Copies of this chain bind each other. A is one copy, B any other.
Amino acid sequence: MNDSNDLLSALRAAVGAQQVLTHEDPATDLAAYEQDWRRRHRGRALAVVRPGNTAEVAAVVQACAAAGVAIVPQGGNTGLVVGSVPDASGQQVLLSLQRMNRVRALDAANLTLTVDAGCILQAAQQAAEAAGLLLPLSLAAEGSCTIGGNLASNAGGTQVLRYGNAREQCLGLEVVTPQGEVWDGLIGLRKDNTGYDLRDLYIGSEGTLGIITGATLKLQPQPAAKLTAWAALPSIEAAVELLGLAQRQLGAGLTGFEAMSRFSLSLVDKHYPQLRVPLWQDHPWCVLLENSDSESEAHARERFEALLEAALEQGCVSDAIVAESLGQAHNLWHIRESISLAQSEEGLNIKHDISLPVSAIARFCAETDAQLAAEIPGVRLVNFGHLGDGNLHYNVQAPEGGDPAAFLREQESRINHIVFDSVRRHGGSISAEHGIGSLKAETLPQYKHPVALALMRRIKAALDPQGLMNPGRVLIQEPR
């Protein structure tokens, strides 16, 4: 108890008393920090600490390291794998980056943007836009997620096909190490071969190797026009064929390729009829395509129409529309983004964020669909996702009329095994873009190559020998 008080005093000295929130003050509600986004877990923090700059982050980490107290870093707390909330012990310090939300610099000639880690993604997008440039990281939570969280989890989203994950959009990092040192790696260089790639080691490490406090991101020129099309397809094989055709004909112009099964669209139609989902009833799959053009809208439309005509002729597309206005394009994207919500309206479900070689997608779906249907009669599959990246959200909904809570209790573990075993057989990954967090930390060793896992453990032990950075995430403790 005295130890805790000493630490709290040190934290208050580091960031100011009003930026150290504890349960001792009954007026303070820490739910927003302690409850995870999907409401899978509610933890209890020793304290929520809100540093205002990098030096304060370093001071907080030093104080915790000296006290041997674990730190859970948190950005917008929108992660999907329970990676940024404290455990139930009441002994962990929650370090929120929210106050560090500044845009530090924009260099238009170098096409770079440097921000604090707590900068909201949307604010970073807007800073780029204000300079006539594009930050092409885009995901559903962009109004509340932070750049630091995006990088710690190597976020994906809808434009990975063209611009890559968060990793590919980052040139430099500022990091506070588990010892409380500051590594200033905020470079704005496309090429730098001066040693090990620490940047990419920190990106995707989910706060287990240190705390990202700032980042320099790549920007892109704004395309002259961006058009959206909606195509109905006879099968998922056809979707893979259309993807290849679109990549050949549009080249880098193809900036979005989202596939949606009929059942996933039927849920949007059922729960949000006002969205008027087009073409879904008579076709097993629909695909949303985006074409970004550096020339003109007329050119974008001409290229898009040529693609869709060729696809109709080949038979991989049965019907298609190109959005005539920004409003119509926005509505089509809104349908795509409403699938998760419609699924929640339908009831509890089991989410899988998997990736596969594009060439294995159709076979994976056929085999896994059949196996699930055989083993769990009536099971409903909500299959949609970033097909252009091989990334499916292969979600499983309870049979119609059943009790979803009981279904999850009884079937979740078995269904996960069926899906993940099939993913492995087809050369895929059990976490494409959401990460591991604590939700999948126990599953990971069953599917990760043992040598890779051993290398990860060595790196963790080398950089965080006290094991205080976001413990229990990504790597669970080895049995001693």
Contacts and interface: CB of A to CB of B under 8 A. Distances in A.
Interface of A: 107-112, 153-154, 156, 160-162, 164-165, 167-168, 177, 181-185, 187-198, 200-201, 203-205, 209, 221, 223, 240, 244, 247-253, 292-295, 303, 355-360, 386, 389-391, 427-436, 444, 447-449, 451-456, 458-463, 474-475
27 contacts: A107-B357, A109-B357, A154-B197, A156-B191, A181-B451, A183-B451, A185-B452, A188-B427, A191-B433, A193-B204, A193-B429, A193-B432, A193-B434, A194-B444, A195-B204, A195-B453, A196-B455, A200-B200, A223-B251, A249-B294, A251-B292, A252-B253, A295-B303, A458-B462, A458-B463, A459-B462, A461-B462
B190 A390 contact: yes
Contacts of A453: 195
Contacts of A360: 110
Contacts of A223: 251
Contact of A110 (B182, B221, B390, B449): B390
B390 A189 contact: yes
Given A112-B357, A192-B432, 7 more contacts: A111-B358, A167-B200, A177-B455, A193-B429, A196-B474, A200-B200, A252-B252
B190 A196 contact: no
Query: 9 smallest A-B Cβ distances: which pairs?
Result: A251-B294, A252-B252, A462-B462, A200-B200, A109-B359, A183-B451, A191-B432, A192-B429, A110-B357
Given A109-B244, A294-B249, A463-B458, A429 B187 contact: yes
**How many copies of this kind of chain does the complex include?**
2
A195 B463 CA distance: 15
A190 B112 contact: no
A112 B458 CA distance: 30
A249 B456 CA distance: 44
A193 B153 contact: yes
B195 A452 contact: yes
**Most chain B Cβ neighbours within 10 Å, of A107, A203, A294, A460:** A294
Contacts of A192: 355, 429, 431-432
Nearest to A216: B357
A252 to B, nearest CB: 3
Contacts of A432: 189, 191-193
A200 B170 CA distance: 14
Contacts of A188: 357, 427
A427 B187 contact: yes
Contact of A197 (B161, B201, B253, B451): B201
A207 to B, nearest CB: 12
A201 B196 contact: yes
B160 A194 contact: no
Nearest to A163: B252
Nearest to A192: B429
A435 B189 contact: no
